[in-house]
Structure 1
Amino acid sequence: MTGGTYTLLIGLDRPADITIGALGEHRFPAGAYAYTGSALGSSGFGRVDRHYELAAGERGTRHWHVDYLLGHDDASMQGDVRTPDADVECALAAALPEAPVAGFGASDCDCRSHLAYDADGDRLRAAVSRAHRDAGRE
Structure 2
Amino acid sequence: MRNVQLPSSPGSYVLMLRLVQERKLQIGKLGLFDFPAGIYVYCGSALGSGGLRGRLGHYLKDQSPVKWHVDYLHSYSELLEVIYLPTDERLECRWSQFFLIQPAAFVAAQRFGASDCKNGCLAHLIGFPEDKFSEILRKFTLAWNCQRLPMQ
TM-score, L = length of structure 2: 0.77
CA distance in 2, matches of 1:66, 1:117: 13
User: Does 1:52 pair with 2:64?
Assistant: no
Q: State the Cα RMSD in Å.
A: 1.7
> AA paired with 2:128?
D
Deviation at 1:92, TM superposition (A): 0.8
CA distance in 1, matches of 2:107, 2:73: 13
Residue in 1 aligned with 2:128?
Answer: 118
What is the 5 A alignment of 1:1-138?
A: 1-45=8-52, 46-53=54-61, 56=62, 58-59=63-64, 61-72=65-76, 75-85=77-87, 86-97=89-100, 98-109=106-117, 110-120=120-130, 121-130=133-142, 132-133=144-145
> AA paired with 1:39?
A
Q: How many residues align?
A: 128
CA distance in 1, matches of 2:96, 2:142: 12
> AA paired with 1:12?
L
For residues 35-62 of structure 1, the C-alpha deviation after alignment (integer angstroms, 9 at most, x for no partner) is 0000011110120110121xx3x22x21
Moved over 3 A (4+): 130-134
Deviation at 1:114, TM superposition (A): 0.2
TM-score, L = length of structure 1: 0.84
Any idea what SS the aligned residue of 1:96 has? helix
Question: How high is the sequence identity, in percent, across the aligned residues?
Answer: 33
Any idea what SS the aligned residue of 1:125 has? helix
> AA paired with 2:20?
D
For residues 50-107 of structure 1, the C-alpha deviation after alignment (integer angstroms, 9 at most, x for no partner) is 0121xx3x22x211100000012xx110011111113211111111134211000001
